[in-house]
Amino acid sequence: MTTDADHRHDPKPPGTTAHRDGHRATATGHPDGPATTGTAGHDPGRADTAPATLPGRLATATGPADGNRATDTTDRRDGHTTTGTSTAHRDGPTPTGTDQLSAESVRHAAKVAGRDLDEMQARHRLSTETAAAVVAAGFARHFVPREFGGTAGSFAALLSASAELARTCASTAWCATLYAAHGRFAGYLPAPGQRALWAGSPDVPIAASIMPPQGEAERTATGWRIRGRWAFASGADHAEWLLLACRTQDAGRPEHRLFAVPRAEAEVLDSWRSLGMRATGSHAVEVAGAEVPAHLTLTMDDLARPRPGAERCHTVPPLLAGALMFAAPALGAAEAALAVWSAGLAARTGTGAGRSAEAERVLARSSAEIGAARLLLERAADRADHAEVTPLLVAENRRDSVAAAQMCAAATDRIFRAAGSRAHAEDSALQRCWRDVSTAVSHAALGPESAAAAYAAAVLGA
């Protein structure tokens, strides 16, 4: 999912989000979410509690530890940091530059998201506290280069953390994963552009709307001027920067160009209303006319070129791990659906005397599919982290990630149908999981036709 943008130099205080509906939601400059239960234990009839932990997954939540970030930046487009007076308070364990999304910090983010779940679903965006917990857990810095204090982490660690977070709230996991992904893209900006984003801190959430290109861009003496509307900028309410794409020309050749714009220069439109993934805040954004210097722009072709001497995460093409990252929240939500339904089935049938053969078949087949989906995604993440990059490998990773997402959707749909009328209740956690998986898997990055065509071309020839 991508982002929203537009700002008309409204003199609002730092850390606020302007919405076209006339309301301003105070923010810490980061993601959205709701509030009140942990990840230990789950009442199948409640939508605001997290499912019991499956074997092999992260265990129960722990209490928060405080993490503070004492400085803010006001205008970093010139590559220099201007220190502000606002304090972004991020509850929970604060990672160091080498932390790979620790289990403790991810559990804390899940606990905050579970607590705020109802609020976030109703407001169509993450709560301020949930967004802050996501950033404190290390998602925004996960792919930031180490020279700026980032983790330059692995795809395997991101997959694990995203799926775990999605077991409580898939919307939160979606935004968290995209904050990481967009930080990876920003790592391909020229060096002055990277300093503009991260000189003060690597914990900078970046939202984006880059597919398809939208808006208008024109060259200026120092760079570009962009204006227009961009749809589906997930997590824009709590972002500090936006990546927005336009069609441009270079010597008559078309370009797909990305522009980094401070969030303060965009207006978030309260436009996201969806069946599932309701709390992602995937609103549209508008920009009235932002000046973007040359060092804050890059092309999609740049993302396909490995950065010389860079960490592994900045040497692989976007398509190698793109579908993988979109599939990760769907995996966690499917695992949650299985846990919720299984717990309800056990509670109703006890030792099995009243259990139907059909319920047993649904349990066996769905658990096998979801387990196979995890194995496929873990293999794709491992290849993205370690394997030699070839066109066939890229096509295989995309194939496997899409297949895993389809398995999660099929299994969740089967479980939802087997649950009967109780799953249709408004506060049903199973219904929310089903809606979230259905919406996530409909994303274009997980389209089976294009993945199949790319794989066939790699194996059989174009």
In the chain, the domains with their CATH numbers are 1-306 (2.40.110.10), 316-460 (1.20.140.10)
Q: Identify the three-state secondary structure at position 144.
A: coil
Report the distance separating Cα 283 and Cα 23, nearest Å: 14
Report the distance separating Cα 398 and Cα 299, nearest Å: 22
Contact 407, 373 (CB under 8 A): yes
Nearest to 121 by CA among 457, 440, 432, 455: 432
**Residue found under tokens 């109802």:** 118
* CA dist list (Å): 315 to 140, 143, 308: 19, 12, 8
Nearest to 284 by CA among 233, 235, 242, 226: 233
Question: Mind listing the pLDDT tens digit for each residue in 85-126?
Answer: 233 334 445 444 456 899 999 999 999 999 999 999 999 999
Average pLDDT, the chain: 83
pLDDT reported for residue 18: 42
Lay out the sheet containing 283-293: strands in order across.
216-219, 223-233, 283-293, 267-269
* CA dist list (Å): 192 to 22, 78, 146, 308, 332: 36, 8, 15, 17, 37
Residue ranges for the chain with pLDDT beneath 70: 1-99, 351-353
**Contacts by 155-158 with C-beta closer than 8 Å and gap 24+?**
155/313, 155/321, 155/324, 155/325, 155/380, 155/381, 155/384, 155/385, 156/378, 156/381, 156/382, 156/385, 157/100, 157/101, 158/101, 158/325, 158/328, 158/381
Dihedral sign (CA 369, 321, 446, 402) = negative
Instruction: Determine the residue type at 402.
Output: V
Contact 166, 158 (CB under 8 A): no
pLDDT reported for residue 81: 40
pLDDT reported for residue 307: 84
pLDDT reported for residue 39: 32
pLDDT reported for residue 276: 97
Element (H, E) at 283: strand 283-293
10 Å Cβ neighbour count for 255? 19
Q: Which residues of 233-253 are buried (b: 16+ CB within 10 A; e: fewer)?
A: bbbbbbbbbbbbbbebeeeee
* CA dist list (Å): 281 to 3, 163, 169, 273: 9, 19, 13, 9
Contact 238, 31 (CB under 8 A): yes
Report the distance separating Cα 21 and Cα 165, nearest Å: 30
pLDDT reported for residue 240: 98
The 8-class DSSP code of residue 453 comes to H
pLDDT reported for residue 351: 66
Biggest CA-to-CA distance, the chain: 78
